[in-house]
Chains A and B, each alone.
Chain A
Amino acid sequence: MLAFTFSQLAQQVVSGLASGGIYGSLALAIVLIYRSTRVVNFAQGEMATFTTFIAWSLMHHMSYWPAFVLTLLIAFGGGVALERVVIRPVERAPVLSVVILSIGLLILVNGLSSWIWGSDVKSFPSAFSTRPIRVGGVAFSIQDLGVIGVSLGAVALLALFFRFTKVGLAMRAVALNPGESELVGVRVGWMLALGWGLAAALGALSGMMVAPSVFLEPNMMLSVLLYAFAAAVLGGLDSPLGAVVGGLTLGVVLNLAGTYVGFVGSELRLAVGLAVILAVLLVRPAGLFGRTVARKV
């Protein structure tokens, strides 16, 4: 057991929050899609990787932030198109079919990333400098703080969108009751597509935030996906707030466990993620903020 100092704890918490922001963004993407279409998109991670590769290519031709924004837009468009073309036909299909479909997408997109950009590891620029900054006597990484800022900023923007715009309201209505939404004139299909678009953009954000530290390669997001699932399950699969809170919590817990709990070390983080999934699903499947749904007979 390592020596315990307050500043080290603070650093671990902050860097845990940064990872948590990344997991939470991807978790939010998963929850957005699950809420409206009841589909768990197993391909969300690979889509994020693919769009991060696009960002990488763009950054050879333009500076960071324009490429960042352009990538988000491209990801959004891709998500919308994907829903309309691939998901819409299986809207009413049984669960297993949709699971298989998203697994097929996972494999397909992963292969595309390899095919187009190769499987060698690439470095991805960070939006923030790697210099430390001292706050209250403790040194924090600007990058960590920046990632937290971007993730929470994106989440806040989305929250405002859902709360205050007409379209956001319509999307919430569709998630609650699609049949009823149709009766007031909401084009449910397009709302679902919008959801996929937003989710894809969130995934791109998550990918671009994680790439600088784990390096860009086709399998980059496989473990992030596991953590995102854990975060989403922890928070409640149908709760956006839960996804974010779950992500931040998980990030901090993983970091602290990795640092302070001897046998976990750095290799067993995945196992901790798995343990969270199993524990939540077995003890309280609705998660922290989700709704428990009675089984229909």
Chain B
Amino acid sequence: MSLRVDEAEYVAVLGANGAGKTTTLRAVSGTVRRSGTIVFGGKRIGGKRPDAVARLGIAHVPEGRGTFGELSVWENLRLGAYPRRDRAAVRRDFDRVVGYFPWLARRRDQPAGTLSGGEQQMLALARALMARPRLLMLDEPSLGLAPIVVRELFEILGRLNLDEGLAILVVEQNANVALRASKRAYVLEVGRIALSGESSELRADESVRRSYLGY
């Protein structure tokens, strides 16, 4: 299986449950044993531990968000910037992130576990942004969220990709939303790439939609 994300590119990975989408992300971030070659920015990262991968600029927002429920909103964000040493830039990023999600400032001392599902997803995204990543990976961000929240989330992702040149790799079950947002897409089936191409083309192709994407 061979997958590519270019700089500032927005790529979606689709497929049914169990197709291996989550495992793909995990292989990149190092949370699962993998074989083969994984190259990031010219460097091979296949043997690196997850914390080393994160320090190289890959932010992985896992399935279920992975926020630290017992820590406050602000502490979660601070953790996002953990490996960074440039204090002034971190503060600027904090303001920037609050710009995307204004409510974060109001609720900074609230335990993250008391936020709603949508808010936790936003917090997880905000936390990932605090690391100033070059590649942002999200695993099923729309899971369990109301459509209006999903739309808001993907709108923000779109802005991040366009305005800041952030490369995004998103794994989604909701193929419709993902294809509208992304530039390219891969469709996985049982651990292999069944299909790949421009998102607009895949979306337009009715037979593809029906057989692979279920709508």
Contact = CB atoms under 8 A, between A and B. Distances in A.
Interface residues of B, number: 23
Main secondary structure of the interface of A (DSSP, over half): helix
Contacts of B49: 182
A169 B77 CA distance: 11
28 contacts: A166-B78, A169-B75, A169-B82, A170-B82, A172-B71, A173-B71, A173-B79, A176-B70, A176-B71, A177-B66, A179-B66, A180-B62, A180-B68, A182-B31, A182-B49, A182-B50, A182-B54, A183-B50, A183-B54, A183-B60, A184-B80, A185-B51, A185-B55, A185-B82, A185-B131, A186-B79, A186-B82, A187-B51
Contacts of A177: 66, 68
A210 interface: no
Contacts of A172: 71
Contact of A169 (B59, B69, B79): B79
Given A184-B131, A186-B51, A179 B31 contact: yes
A179 B68 CA distance: 11
Given A172-B71, A173-B68, A177-B68, A182 B78 contact: no
Interface string B27-54: 0010100000000000000000111001
Contact of A183 (B29, B70, B75): B29
Nearest to B64: A180
Nearest to A167: B82
A213 B16 CA distance: 68
A189 to B, nearest CB: 9
A188 interface: yes
Contacts of A176: 68-71
- B31, B51, B62, B80: which has the most chain A beta carbons within 10 Å? B51
Interface of A: 166, 169-170, 172-173, 176-177, 179-188
A185 B78 CA distance: 12
Contacts of B54: 182-185
A184 B31 contact: no
Contacts of A169: 71, 75, 78-79, 82
- A176, A182, A185, A188: which has the most chain B beta carbons within 10 Å? A185
Interface in B163-191: none
Interface string B12-38: 000000000000000001010000000
B99 interface: no
